[in-house]
Structure 1
Amino acid sequence: MSTRVAFLFPGQGSQTVGMGADIYEASPAARRVFEAADTALGFPLSSLCFQGPEDTLRSTINAQPAIVTVSLAFLAALQEALSPDDSSWISPLTPAFLAGHSVGEWTELTAASVLSLEETIKGVRERGRLMEQEGTSCPGGMAAIIAMEPDVVEQVCQEATERALAEISEPVHPGQGKVIAANYNAPGQIVISGEKRALELACELAKARGAKRVIPLAVSGAFHSPVMRPAADALDSVLSELQIKDAVIPIISNISATPLTDAHALREELAKQVASSVQWTKTVEYLVSAGVTTFIEIGPGNALAGMVKRIAKGVTMLNVSKASDVAKVAAALREAGI
């Protein structure tokens, strides 16, 4: 096993119409991933990835399985490029760790042999459905807070929550009136998430307290916040029916930024994660402390690459998000002797 490489998998928001179409044409291994996902879901998810429409692809119930499928297709294509005759999810290039941002944790489940591809795709679509449902039950959203210290962001969220709850006589949803720091993405970039009124108050307070920018995100719900607690409870039941195995490669927890391999711990992580903050900065810091020097982001977009560059200096960052990247990254890995 390499002690220097970590695979990173992107989360929701990285989806774009056309993603994966080039690797479907270029790689037999990638094509098999798309075909398996289409069969598992009983409809052509691949066509939705390649052709849209954009509104349908952006819907959480579709975006989540689509991102996971495209990420796994690129992973399969990269391993195939490194060894056309003998490849698997983690061979010939065996990473020391896997780390996924939000729904990217589900990509890891197949890569680490925790779930089959078919189980992963079915499970993550149900995750998306449950999260979308709570976004309708308790409308909310997310916003990026730029250039504000974490403790100040947390204070802003706490004050906004207190003010929002004071306006409510009797909450009818566990997330009503609440907002939290949901994604600690990188120094100077924290995403807050919560119920509509609480989020509005937090955004106003952040601007007043000196945030450089406050950017509302185009999402369908208050992900990784108390608004998602009913979804977390329902997902726990879904996970109890899946044959979850121990991970063959350590998976870094979004919640604790520590490695997980035990099946029971992974089940708990996946349920709680939808309503918990994503500790991405600590995740990357942990990986660097564990000796990782080469990070490979695998899947649509390059958002994680940008985050890593802001968190860790002097590391190698590679990205596989289009067909032409596969050969380039494979060549770079060979040249580096990895």
Structure 2
Amino acid sequence: MKAYVFPGQGAQFTGMGKDLYENSAVAKQLFEQANEILGFRITDIMFEGTAEELKETKVTQPAVFLHSVIAAKVYPEFAPEMVAGHSLGEFSALVANGALSFEDGLKLVSKRALAMQKACEITPSTMAAVLNLPDEKVEEICAEIDGVVVAANYNCPGQLVISGEYKAVEAACEKMKEAGAKRALILPVGGAFHSPMMEPAREELAAAIEATEFATPICPVYQNVTATAVSDPAEIKKNLIIQLTAPVKWTQSVQQMIADGATEFFEFGPGKVLVGLVNKIDKNVATTKVD
């Protein structure tokens, strides 16, 4: 079975999507439609902008979404049997499997980006990557720290990202190193994504998601929150709202997709982080990167 996967924030790069725009009339039309929906020429920043300009949250999230979704839409052998996306990538996955329209997906991603930016400005918060510690040990240390710090991204065995208040994350990093972590490194991000710190953004996004129509998808989505196959539009909505303050269970999602019959993973969009993670989770499945 073919699994289509979509990356999240951090995969962006200068020039992203330019080849698609120049070589496909369908892609060009979708990019121009996106410029109109957003009210600014995001294509100018994607194709010619600096890394700094691309890092702005209001740009990054729609840019990664657009590159991913448009790459999938112009792919000649488009036939997913299951989909998943890492964090923001879940919105790309939901457009790819028909649960969301292109326009509604882009509007929600733009609202999500702005809501997360606002939440980041309320309290100093951050994320950190922890390498070579068992998941259980990371969770145990987070629970012992004063302040808010939680496991946020289960990326692959031995690679977990924690998230929370700045001081709590710093304290957790020290304890992780003492416990034998190969690395516990603060990440250059705007705030504590996938933690209770995102509660204000979750409330704001919930209203927008509730007001948006979701259709029954052509194939199941393995959602970050449950790491299981979901096809019911009401359940998809509910999980999408919870996702902002809950961990991304990427390891568990990929393992479940493989258990359910996935033999080949196709990554659509910028970068190739996800095919790398899939290979670390199970080296026996085939992976393909689609630009």
**When the two structures are superposed, what TM-score results if normalisation uses the length of structure 2?**
0.97
- Offset, 1:23: 1.7
Q: Aligned partner of 2:275: which letter?
A: A
Residue in 2 aligned with 1:87?
none
Q: Which runs of 5+ in 2 are unaligned?
A: none
TM-score (norm 1): 0.84
Contact 2:163 2:195 in 1 (8 A): yes
1:17–1:57 contact (8 Å) kept in structure 2: yes
In the other structure, the counterpart of 1:300 is 270
Task: Give the structure 2 partner of residue 46 of structure 1.
Answer: 43
Structure 2 letter corresponding to 1:116? S
Aligned match of 1:56? 53
Q: Which amino acid aligns with 1:264?
A: A
Determine the C-alpha separation between the residues in 2 that align with 1:148 and 1:290.
Answer: 28
| Residue segments in structure 1 that go unaligned for 5+ positions in a row | 83-92, 164-176, 322-338
Q: Distance in 1 between matches of 2:230 and 2:123?
A: 32
Match of 1:99 among 84, 90, 95: 84
Structure 1 SS opposite 2:141: helix
Q: Give the distance between the partners of 1:281 and 1:133, measured in 2 at CA.
A: 29
- CA deviation vs aligned residue, 1:143-190 (integer Å, no higher than 9, x gap): 110000011100111112xx2xxxxxxxxxxxxx20101000001100
Aligned residues: 291
Distance between the aligned counterparts of 1:115 and 1:286, measured in 2?
Answer: 23
Match status 1:30 vs 2:27: yes
- Which residue in the other structure is 2:226 paired with? 256
Partner Cα distance (1:73, 1:111) in 2: 9
Q: Distance in 1 between matches of 2:30 and 2:288?
A: 22
Q: Which moved more, 1:111-120 or 1:63-72?
A: 111-120
Q: What's the offset of the Cα at 1:59?
A: 1.5
1:286-325 to structure 2, matched below 5 A, reads 286-321=256-291
Give the deviation of 1:203 after TM superposition.
Answer: 0.8
- Alpha-carbon offset, residue 66 of structure 1: 0.7
Alignment-derived partner of residue 190 in structure 2: 220
Check the 8 A contact 1:15/1:67 in 2, yes or no: yes
Letter of the aligned partner of 2:135 in structure 1?
Answer: P
Deviates more, 1:212-221 or 1:240-249: 240-249
State the partner residue of 2:126: 141
One-letter amino acid of the structure 1 residue matched with residue 231 of structure 2? T
| Cα separation, 2, equivalents of 1:206 and 1:236 | 34
| Partners of 2:249 and 2:257 in 1: CA distance | 12
1:116 shift after superposition = 1.4
Amino acid at match of 1:143: A
- Identity, % of aligned positions: 40
Q: What is the alpha-carbon distance in structure 1 between the residues aligned to residue 258 and residue 93 of structure 2?
A: 19
Q: Does 1:128 align with 2:113?
A: yes
Is the counterpart of residue 9 in structure 1 residue 22 in structure 2? Answer: no
Counterpart amino acid of 2:51?
A: E
Give the distance between the partners of 2:183 and 2:103, measured in 1 at CA: 41
The answer to whether 1:158 aligns with 2:135 is no
- CA distance in 2 between partners of 1:29 and 1:218 (Å): 35
- Give the structure 2 partner of residue 185 of structure 1: 155
2:25 partner letter:
P
Give the secondary structure class of the aligned counterpart of 1:137.
Answer: coil
Q: Residues of 1 paired with 2:53 and 2:107: CA distance?
A: 18
Residue type of the alignment partner of 1:18? G
Structure with the greater alpha carbon radius of gyration = 1
- By how many angstroms is 1:282 displaced? 0.6
Distance in 2 separating the partners of 1:148 and 1:190: 8
User: Is contact 1:297–1:318 with CA below 8 Å preserved after alignment?
Assistant: yes
Query: Contact 2:80/2:97 (CA < 8 Å) preserved in 1?
Result: no
Would you say the 8 A contact 1:37–1:117 is kept in 2?
A: no
Which residue does 1:20 correspond to in 2? 17
Contact 1:114–1:244 at 8 Å: present in 2 too?
yes
Distance between the aligned counterparts of 1:205 and 1:28, measured in 2?
53
| Alignment partners' CA distance in 1, 2:20 and 2:63 | 14
Distance 2:240 2:121 in 1: 22
CA distance in 2, matches of 1:109, 1:310: 25
Give distance in 1, aligned partners of 2:44 and 2:17: 10
1:120 is paired with a residue whose SS is helix
Which stretch of structure 1 is more off in the superposition, 185-194 or 19-28? 19-28
> Aligned-pair RMSD on alpha carbons?
1.1
Structure 2 residue identity aligned to 1:312: D
Kindly provide the amino acid, as one letter, of the partner of residue 140 in structure 1.
S
Structure 1 moving runs of 4+ over 3 Å: none
Q: Does 1:268 align with 2:238?
A: yes
Which amino acid letter does the alignment assign opposite residue 309 of structure 1? N
